[in-house]
Structure 1
């Protein structure tokens, strides 16, 4: 048997000669319960490109705590110490698993994987929140300014910078998201109503809205799509998209009936998620907007799942969606996985020093299946498959195997004892259908 260092000897996935194929299917999702530390309560707020989720949950003391969820395991992020408020909320997570949020007595924090760091303030009181961060760990949010107002900030390498406000007279501003290009979006007092803004290279630009009222930008994609909400002509808050100089009303699930909606995140494929009042009710339902259509995510899951998906807060480039809803009478965070058909198992028995088997199921009988692996998370395009990318940096690839009549493939090799304590990222691809499996993140004990 080959050792794990030689399991995947073929060139990186990006140079494989996959047959060109345009893959299209109805978007359907499996619902994964994120669980909870205690009291059956949790909320999902953001997801990174390797499927790690942050949000908040009640701990055994009955206090809210930020968490990092990875492949079914929930880690409680320690709260800031020295403050009266013993709580924490996780709002943003980057590719490194670092978390931005709010803790203590409304203080912005960064969890760097080891420590919970108090980001401080802008010369005012200890008050604020960190809403998002990019892969360079530039953190944005709001903090109290010496003027007494809260101001949007960008924190980097220990320094908090004031992003200013739109209005000529001062007032409040709040940053809600940042992409890897350093573009920041949020909301600021203007000379009229609070307006959505784009901050770039030191300049804050008023994005306006659907009408002469309030607007807020919640998220910006790597390609510059901006989403949020704005007061519509009916004087209700409607989910809004800013792109190419246009301001677009995304409507509601209640159309043409009255109702409100908010767009909370967007990816570069133009998939937008958020919440809207459901048809003929004012109950909030999570939505997915794509190709000009707003769809109730509850219609895209198993109707017998026991879930009512209420709010969707994050979506990554793989189309995974996080948020929260009602699950059997409890407020629970969810992760929606697109049902591509392929499913990759953890290594079995999952012990270093032994022969381990990874099973891929749901493949097309008679078709080739490739298994990619690596030690770092990332994104590598699959040639010939449009925007499909495995969530592994510079992966190596196992020699392909043919799916049996049951659509199953097994990859077996001996894992050296030196793999103990090391984390591997594993994902399968069927190039003929441009199908990709779930990402397995496994640490050998």
Structure 2
């Protein structure tokens, strides 16, 4: 592929907008990354994934990095392991049990506990076999373990299991065979309330909690609970608000079972549902009150059976018939301008023209030619969390009246101006190559839009031209990360880069 030198122009145009409710981004699609055999169980904000490979009577834990791929977490003295979580610092915990620092490539201990979750403070939660009851049954308790200090704390009663802990060190889980959920705040545990049942058997359990619970109205706990009217052996995906009230997510088709496994700080929930009849089990995505079969959003025909985790970038991990899977969100059809895009994925309007030009090696870009203004636009879905809009452009004229306007708008709102708009002008001297434009979008009113219209309008003297390529929308975890992304783009200014395919 042809390398292209990049220069960087960073533009910010943030409008003061009223907060709009987030809606399910049904326009989002997902590209699949095959992670190999087994199951992917957790992903951190860097896109690092952990999981396990099941064998006859043992399991190998593994770690996957976006750049280097997959490696077994190898310890000959402990073969029966499953990696269950990884924090942003690269500390991996799991059943077996073990704690592993992937940055240092060293084990931090083989403790008498099985860990399910870890937060950014290196506090891990899980369960530990505690004692044998008077009736001879072995018992276990939920545990919190501070990896840095070595302090161990029991956080709930007998026959309990902690599954997750957020960055406020609030832990959640279940007891009595996961029939009764609990939450532990600052060392004080209380039961989660399920839905009303005539027999008082709520069968609820919590499997994850985002970092906003309980201090924000966007705080959420997720898991499962028996819906009102369900048979005793039926449960459904459920979330709890910051006040502890349960809410039904629902099940697909005529399915009678399901559960939510994970929630991110944008309120996106993943898990699974039975679909009823012979449909079996399938992965689900729940956002803004809408439940979607995740497989309907996956490009290329791959299928996911269970979604185990979702990070704040909207990346999802789980497994399907082919093994462990990573789903990367794609917020619109194509920003790389392949053959057939113009007039299909990209609509063309105005009296100017839009065409594709070959940059070499079959790499195509859009060339906009003025006669009067020409606009290309595409329907997109914007991420519910903070995101970055970027594209490459090159003016082929130095006429100061040549302009390229980028806009992002909600077509259902009849406003005099787009929700976002920025204008670029031709430089006084021709650039040798493409320039990269990047804008970080943090305003709530621009996030979670579906539909949204992304448009580029070029204008100038008749016959003048502008090139456009590599249009992307990328969700980032938090506002601080926007600054890092923008700084990162600035750091690569002038370096060659390879065009994405």
Cα separation, 2, equivalents of 1:202 and 1:158: 17
Larger Cα-atom Rg: 2
User: 1:370 corresponds to which residue?
Assistant: 437
Residue 397 of structure 1 aligns to a residue in which SS?
helix
Return closer, same or farther for 1:187/1:268 CA change in 2, 3 Å cut-off. same
1:310 CA drift (Å): 0.6
Residues 208 and 343 of structure 1: CA distance in aligned 2, closer, same or farther (over 3 Å): same
Match of 1:331 in 2: 323
Alignment of 1:379-394 (within 5 A): 382-383=442-443, 385-386=446-447, 390=476, 392=481, 394=483
1:396 and 1:331 map into 2 onto residues whose CA distance is: 32
Correspondence for 2:174 among 187, 198, 215:
187
How far residue 18 of structure 1 moved from its aligned partner, in angstroms, is: 3.8
Taking the aligned partners of 1:90 and 1:386, their CA distance within structure 2 comes to: 33
> Which string of whole-angstrom CA distances, capped at 9 and with x for unpartnered residues, describes residues 219-244 of structure 1?
00111210101223313011111112
Partners of 1:339 and 1:62 lie apart in 2 by: 41
In the alignment, structure 1 residue 52 sits paired with structure 2 residue 52 = no
Partners of 1:174 and 1:116 in 2: CA distance: 27
Q: Could you say what secondary structure the match of 1:149 adopts?
A: strand
Say whether the 8 Å CA contact 2:35–2:70 is kept in structure 1.
no
- CA offset digits 1:86-110 (Å, max 9, x no partner): 14322111112221112xxx32434
Q: 1:34 to 1:278 in 2, by over 3 A?
A: same
> How many residue pairs were aligned?
352
Q: Distance in 1 between the 2:485 and 2:63 partners?
A: 27
Q: Is 2:156 the counterpart of 1:161?
A: no
**Structure 1 residues 143-292: aligned runs within 5 Å:** 143-147=128-132, 148-156=138-146, 157-166=148-157, 171-189=158-176, 194-210=179-195, 211=197, 212-213=200-201, 214-224=203-213, 225-233=220-228, 234=230, 235=232, 236-243=234-241, 244-254=243-253, 257-292=254-289
What is the deviation of 1:323? 1.0
Task: Indicate how the Cα distance of structure 1 residues 251 and 400 shifts in structure 2: closer, same or farther if over 3 A, else same.
Answer: closer
Instruction: Kindly report which structure 2 residues correspond to 1:313-352, keeping only aligned pairs within 5 A, or say none.
Output: 313-326=308-321, 330-340=322-332
Which residue of the partner structure matches residue 405 of structure 1? none
Give the counterpart of 1:114 among 97, 104, 109. Answer: 104
User: For 1:59-101, what per-residue CA distance to the aligned partner results, in whole angstroms no more than 9, with x for missing partners?
Assistant: 9x99632222222532324244434xx1432211111222111
Question: Which structure has the higher relative contact order (CA within 8 Å, separation 6+)?
Answer: 2
Query: In the TM superposition, what is the alpha-carbon distance from 1:135 to its structure 2 partner?
Result: 1.3
Q: Where does residue 443 of structure 1 map in the other structure?
A: none
Counterpart contact for 2:155–2:187, Cα < 8 Å: no
Q: Is the 8 A contact 1:262 1:275 kept in 2?
A: yes
In structure 2, the CA distance between the partners of 1:360 and 1:398, relative to structure 1 (3 Å rule), is farther
1:64/1:399 CA distance change after superposition, 3 Å: closer
Contact between 1:47 and 1:322, CA under 8 Å: does it hold in 2?
yes
The 2-side partners of 1:296 and 1:239 are apart by 13
Structure 1 gaps, min length 5: 1-5, 345-358, 373-379, 402-410, 416-425, 429-436, 439-445
Contact preservation (8 Å) 2:182, 2:205 = yes
Following superposition, the deviation at residue 158 of structure 1 comes to: 4.5
CA distance change for structure 1 residues 340 and 68 in 2, over 3 Å: closer, same or farther? farther
2:315, 2:489 → 1: CA distance? 26
Assess if the C-alpha contact under 8 Å between 1:48 and 1:316 holds in 2.
yes
What pairs with 1:29-108 in structure 2 (closer than 5 Å)? 29-36=29-36, 41-57=37-53, 64-71=59-66, 73-83=68-78, 86-102=79-95, 106-108=96-98
Question: In 2, distance between residues paired with 1:189 and 1:98?
Answer: 29
| C-alpha distance 78-364 of structure 1, shift in aligned 2 (>3 A) | closer
TM-score normalised to the size of structure 1? Answer: 0.67
Deviation, 1:333, is: 2.3
Structure 2 length-normalised TM: 0.61
C-alpha distance in structure 2 between counterparts of 1:360 and 1:216, whole Å: 51
Q: Give SS of 1:49's match.
A: coil
Q: Unpaired segments of 5 or more residues in structure 2? A: 1-5, 133-137, 214-219, 337-363, 367-377, 379-390, 394-403, 407-423, 425-435, 449-473
CA distance in 1, matches of 2:100, 2:365: 37
C-alpha contact 1:140 1:175 (8 A) present in aligned 2: yes
For residues 49 and 245 of structure 2, what CA distance do their matches in structure 1 show? 32
Distance 2:290 2:306 in 1: 17
Tell me, yes or no, if the aligned pair for 2:303 and 2:320 is still in contact at 8 Å.
yes
Instruction: Find the residue that maps to 2:494 and give its secondary structure.
Output: strand
